[in-house]
Amino acid sequence: MTQASAAPRGQGYPFSGLVVLDLSHIYNGPYATFLMAMAGAEVIKIEPHGGEHLRVRAGLGGAALPFAMLNGNKKSVTLNLKSERGRELFLQMVRSADVLVENFAPGVTERLGIGPEVLQAENPRLIYASSTGYGRSGPYRDYPAMDITVQAMSGIMSITGFPDSPPVKSGPALCDFFAGIHLYAGIATALYEREKTGKGRLVEVSMQEAVYASLSSNLALYHGSGGKVPVRTGNRHGGLAEAPYNVYPASDGHVAIICNNNRHFHALLNAMGREDLKDDSRFRDLKTRVAHIDEIDALVSAWTQQYTKAELVERLLAHRVPHAPVRDLGEVVNDPHMHARRSLQWINHPQYGRIVVQNSPIRYEGVPPMPLEPSSPLGAQNREVFCERLGLSEQEFEDLRREGVV
Amino acid sequence: MTQASAAPRGQGYPFSGLVVLDLSHIYNGPYATFLMAMAGAEVIKIEPHGGEHLRVRAGLGGAALPFAMLNGNKKSVTLNLKSERGRELFLQMVRSADVLVENFAPGVTERLGIGPEVLQAENPRLIYASSTGYGRSGPYRDYPAMDITVQAMSGIMSITGFPDSPPVKSGPALCDFFAGIHLYAGIATALYEREKTGKGRLVEVSMQEAVYASLSSNLALYHGSGGKVPVRTGNRHGGLAEAPYNVYPASDGHVAIICNNNRHFHALLNAMGREDLKDDSRFRDLKTRVAHIDEIDALVSAWTQQYTKAELVERLLAHRVPHAPVRDLGEVVNDPHMHARRSLQWINHPQYGRIVVQNSPIRYEGVPPMPLEPSSPLGAQNREVFCERLGLSEQEFEDLRREGVV
């Protein structure tokens, strides 16, 4: 791919000059490549005619916002990888790319004739990044994987929810996003290594493995109880090792309060005007408080429910008690703090209207946050990539378009 | 720091030869540095006398497993950073280190005289990596931050749980771990950049910002409804954009089933022996199915509750319907697939007994998973680091020990 422009995209940013080919879809791979774009890489999103699944759903109205959030600052091209000519064009792109990202089911790229061995033979410096539900090997390799199935398989559901309710999924699509950010991390690591060795790598992440460590508190409870399977702990500590630690009712919502130690607990008693309880033997230390967890939660609830969220926040802040109001998405999207930090920004998206999108959560001092570009319409950079970069003539390009290759 | 051994630690791994100073605690920073160790870096964990919070809790019995999971393959030293001599020794270490990782509250390292400006003056190649709850700037900078408070503030709780129940936290400590893996990702990116520029960077991640993108589906529902705040959707799709998509009762537990399209849905009808419903106008496509979501969930539940989890898995697999059993932590810890992939391994930990620990979820083809070393007892590498690496004499070391500096 010849460089048409003088200055590489993202000049001054860490990944300036890198070219990423992005075959990924929905959340997992696209989050990884979004973060690459926001670190300065040139990301070329390659989609089948009709667009990847999330773009299709965005067109139907259900997923415009996530599509726009995850695909800003990327170029969009269409390419039929099932056609021989499409595959050839793709291999031509691979020869001067740095990274290929895909999150197909295991075996898909091999069947298309663009598996890691083929691509690395074309370009030994290529980093081939693959994310799947359960990995490229092992007995569950071909088990169906989406965020909710991996939440079920990984134990997340079994530890989320109240003890007397059915298991419930975690609201965020955390299996998808944990895999996506681990994939980005693996790519960045392999890029660093390539500076030393001159060689690319196959980097692999599975959704199941990417979420395991986040179950640490509950795994501690499982282990500490000699393998007795823990019940769901609701809003109590996942290891049932701290109290007070819960979400307590306010008159107009809920507030989370957490006391890790006596300093926090005594601050809470001060806020409650219950200094008399500091000497109560039931509440002497973390261990005795955990032993009287129901009493302590009743005591705190009786106090919190007299006040609004805002009143509680004011009192708890003044007494330096760890806490937070439970906020809804309206409050989150309009969060003054994230907007002040330019983490969130309102943009006028040419296709999807006025929306809030996020910059990269990874910040580098000395470079301003990357200016946000709206996601491209499908194939918007076809001509730029296939004619200017790959050198197709106008006639060839039109022929390929007519044949459904590009 | 002089290199005492001939071959750098982790030879053949991507981060071979890198030295990481780790001031971090609990989950967030330690997960980042664990992944660095598993990619071949030499990680020196620097703790106050008594140990960091998680080690203290491990000693009390509550957190042995998470401590062991996150601190394997690291060296352990003690150092009193509040003493002038301790600070001097630390600055000496910084001069030949590549990365410093900390997840104190904003301002803590500055107060200790080891903030990013001081350290980068000592070593302009140093990457200073900082993770906090809300970031190093902005109106919420000093707001108290722990996993559960950020779950409340970030909107995670508001979208987790059943519509008729209170908000509930996601079981995993996902704010801590999302921040930790983003921090690792930022460090790896800055290391790559340093190969080009020769300069280190301050890399910053906040827990609040690191989880935002994972709310994508629910943000879509919020946006799509014109800013009407979505209720919690239980185990239904976070965007209420798919059906069937739920956790259904089995006779001995629960099974998640997801149909993204007609192919999946018709496969499910085949498995149920209800091919007659393919022509039912209520279930014609995704849109009509979502409009009849209660009917469809009742229909699927009536079928699933007749069978065990194992029977359902067998039928759903045979018909290629996306699904998964809801597994408990006992099943997860003993997962044959993760053990087959050597992602999980039983080890005999000298302090904590027979436990299951995890390797890095980031895999590089061509290098075997890094052999797992158990977490070190507090200060186990004091002599190695302070005498062999920093060049203290035996007498100086003993004096400093007596004075409570090391």
pLDDT digits (tens, 9 = 90+) for B288-347: 999 999 999 999 999 999 999 999 999 999 999 999 999 999 999 999 999 999 999 999
Q: Tell whether the model's pLDDT for residue A4 goes beyond 50.
A: no
pLDDT confidence of residue A2? 37
CB contact under 8 A, B138 and A162: no
Q: Which residues pair with A324 in a beta bridge?
A: A256
CB pairs under 8 A between A and B: 478
Chain A hits for B100, Cβ within 8 Å: none
The number of C-alpha atoms within 13 Å of A343 and in the hemisphere containing its C-beta is 28
Tokens of A185: 């991390």
Tokens of A252: 């107009």
Q: Tell whether the model's pLDDT for residue B7 goes beyond 60.
A: no
Q: Which residue in B212, B240, B321, B357 has the most chain A C-beta atoms within 10 A of its own C-beta, making it the best mutation to test that interface?
A: B212
pLDDT confidence of residue A8? 58
Q: Tell whether the model's pLDDT for residue A6 goes beyond 70.
A: no
The residue from B25, B182, B237, B264 that is catalytic is: B237
Q: Is A184 helix (H, G, I), strand (E, B) or coil?
A: helix
Tokens of A200: 């690319």
Predicted confidence band of residue A1 (pLDDT cuts 50, 70, 90): very low
Give the Å distances, CA to CA, from A98 to A41, A122, A123: 10, 12, 9
pLDDT digits (tens, 9 = 90+) for B225-256: 888 877 799 999 888 888 999 999 999 999 99
Give dist(CA B147, CA B59) in Å, integer: 22
pLDDT digits (tens, 9 = 90+) for A298-318: 999 999 999 999 999 999 999
Q: Tell whether the model's pLDDT for residue B61 goes beyond 50.
A: yes
Give dist(CA B348, CA B374) in Å, integer: 8
For A290, the enclosing helix (H) or strand (E) is helix A286-291
pLDDT confidence of residue B2? 37
Closest to B219 (Cα-Cα) out of A255, A344, A210: A344
CB contact under 8 A, A148 and B235: yes
Mean pLDDT of A94-117: 98
Domains of chain B with CATH codes: 19-212+337-402 (3.40.50.10540), 245-326 (3.30.1540.10)
- Placement of tokens 């007659």 in the chain: B276
pLDDT confidence of residue B306? 98
pLDDT confidence of residue A9? 65
Report whether A193 contacts B366 (CB < 8 A): no
* Other C-beta atoms lying within 10 Å of the C-beta of residue B3: 14
Give dist(CA B319, CA B304) in Å, integer: 15
Give the list of residues 6+ apart from residue A191 with CB closer than 8 angstroms, or none: A15, A18, A98, A99, A127, B188, B192
Indicate the residue type of B93: M
For chain A, state the CA radius of gyration: 26
pLDDT confidence of residue B62? 81
Of B222, B232, B325, the CB nearest to A333: B222
Mean pLDDT of A162-169: 94
Q: Rounded mean pLDDT of chain A?
A: 95
B237: annotated active-site residue = yes
Predicted confidence band of residue B363 (pLDDT cuts 50, 70, 90): very high
pLDDT digits (tens, 9 = 90+) for A184-240: 999 999 999 999 999 999 999 999 999 999 999 999 999 988 888 777 999 998 888
